[in-house]
Amino acid sequence: MSRVITLTTDFGTGDGYVASMKGVILGINPQATVVDISHSVEPQSIRQASFILHTSWRYFPEGSIHVVVVDPGVGSHRKAVILKTPSACFITPDNGALSYVLHEIAETQAQHSLVKINQTIIRTLPSECEAVSITRKEYWRHPVSTTFHGRDIFAPVAAHLSLDLPITEFGESINNLTVFPIPTPFQDATGQMVGHIIHIDRFGNLITNLRSSHIPRGGAAIEVRNQRIDNTSRYYSQGSGLIALIGGNDYLELSYRDGSAASILGAQVGDTIKLVNPSA
């Protein structure tokens, strides 16, 4: 049965880890279409993996299965889960990798049920979603390595799921998942809109959580790390030096012509960015 299965990991491509996962999947369902989203996630960077998934999953055919294995807790008691939404299924450790996916679904439903337990934040599932904890070991590869659940649990579960088994076949139903807080833009005491850098891509572009809708009709200047950009450009080659523009996912991003904005500014994920009156 043909079904799209995507893979997002921090494994890189210099070793055989990704190939092993693909081999397991195709051994169970030779007709599956396996697509790499990214294997260049920084080691253990769950936030980066979550954002990359968020910007790509919706472009795949409905019913695609998205496997995310960035798993600092591999071998521990952290859950492995399947999340089913109206459009797709996601298989991942329950460690926050689905934070952006759940956030965007919850925003469309105006549902924001978050609970903090010790240092862990739990989000109740939106009403249109269902999830299970993967506990049915007959769908795993044996013996199970304590360090490679991507090959021995997540890959075979994805393959079996691609054969149209219901997610309830894989374990017990659960009604919440672990997330990390998604930073949202806000207005400061002076009325200026403040956002944050949430991702740095391989070109050194600084992706912020400000959207096109946050930019006033008359335009805005952008301030970041003591630098000011007086207006936004339409495309990368329109300006020179440090520029700001709305990227392909509707996020405001900062770029440096023929260079890396991250390196030039010394910027990091979490840094603030402010929209100010262009005449100020």
* CATH number, domain with residue 91: 3.40.50.10790
Domain boundary among 122, 150, 179: 179
pLDDT for position 258: 86
State how far the Cα of 219 lies from the Cα of 241, in Å rounded to an integer.
Answer: 19
Shared-domain flag, residues 151 and 268? no
Shared-domain flag, residues 64 and 17? yes
Domain boundary among 125, 160, 179: 179
- For the chain, helix, strand, coil in percent to 5 are 25, 35, 45
Sequence letter at residue 239: G
Q: What is the CATH number of the domain that holds 222?
A: 2.40.30.90
How many domains, the chain? 2
The alpha carbon torsion through 238, 241, 245, 247 (nearest 10 deg) reads 90
Longest dimension (CA), the chain: 66
Sequence letter at residue 77: H
Cβ partners under 8 Å of residue 15, min gap 6: none
CB 108 within 8 A of CB 87: no
pLDDT for position 279: 65
- Running along the chain, 280 residues long, what does each successive block of 10 average in pLDDT? 94 97 98 98 97 97 98 94 97 97 77 56 90 98 97 98 97 96 91 94 96 86 90 74 90 92 95 83
pLDDT for position 230: 85
Q: Which residue range forms the structural domain that includes residue 217?
A: 186-276
Residue 34, SS3 per DSSP: strand
Shared-domain flag, residues 91 and 64? yes
Shared-domain flag, residues 171 and 202? no
Shared-domain flag, residues 87 and 8? yes
pTM assigned to the model? 0.92
Domain boundary among 145, 179, 213: 179
Rg over alpha carbons for the chain, rounded to the nearest Å, is: 20
The DSSP code for 12 is: -
